[in-house]
Amino acid sequence: MEVIVCKTAEEASRLAATLITDALQTTPALVLGLATGSTPLLLYRELIKACQSGADFSRVRTFNLDEYCGLPPEHPHSYRTFMNAHLFSNLNIRPENTHVPDGTADNLPALCAAYEAAIAAAGGIDIQVLGIGSNGHIGFNEPGSPLDSRTRRVTLTEQTLRDNTRFFSAREEVPRYAISMGVGTILEAKKCVLLGFGANKARAIKAAIEGPVSPDSPASALQVHRDTVVFLDEAAAAKLQ
Ligand code: F6R
170, pLDDT greater than 90: no
For ligand 1, what atom is nearest to the CA of residue 200?
Answer: 16
pLDDT tens readout for residues 54-86 = 999 999 999 999 999 999 999 999 999 999 999
- Point out the catalytic residue in the list 142, 163, 188, 233: 142
pLDDT at 200: 97
pLDDT tens readout for residues 30-56 = 999 999 999 999 999 999 999 999 999
Residue 238 lies in a domain: no
In this structure, the number of other CB atoms found within 10 A of the CB of residue 82 comes to 20
175 DSSP 8-state letter: -
For ligand 1, what atom is nearest to the CA of residue 164?
Answer: 15
Residue 137 falls in the annotated catalytic set = yes
pLDDT at 28: 98
Residue 34 lies in a domain: yes
Q: Distance (Å, rounded) from C-alpha 93 to C-alpha 88?
A: 6
Q: Distance (Å, rounded) from C-alpha 168 to C-alpha 166?
A: 6
Task: Return the bridge partners of 63, or none.
Answer: 33, 99
Cβ–Cβ < 8 Å for 35, 41: no
State the average pLDDT over residues 208-236: 98
Cβ–Cβ < 8 Å for 32, 61: yes
Atom 1 of ligand 1, residue of closest alpha carbon: 36
Structural domain range at position 219: 2-228
Looking at the structure of the chain, the number of domains it has is 1
pLDDT tens readout for residues 172-217 = 899 999 999 999 999 999 999 999 999 999 999 999 999 999 999 9
Residue 180 lies in a domain: yes
Residue 99 falls in the annotated catalytic set = no
Residue 234 lies in a domain: no
Q: Distance (Å, rounded) from C-alpha 211 to C-alpha 44?
A: 30
Residue 95 lies in a domain: yes
Confidence of residue 20 (pLDDT cuts 50, 70, 90): very high
Residue 212 lies in a domain: yes
Residue 95 CA to ligand 1 center (angstroms) comes to 23
Residue 35 CA to ligand 1 center (angstroms) comes to 7
Residue 214 CA to ligand 1 center (angstroms) comes to 19
Strands 152-155, 177-180: pairing kind = antiparallel
pLDDT at 93: 98
CATH code of residue 91: 3.40.50.1360
Residue 167 lies in a domain: yes
Cβ–Cβ < 8 Å for 91, 52: no
**CB half-sphere exposure, 182, CA atoms < 13 A:** 18
At 7 the three-state DSSP class reads coil
Residue 235 lies in a domain: no
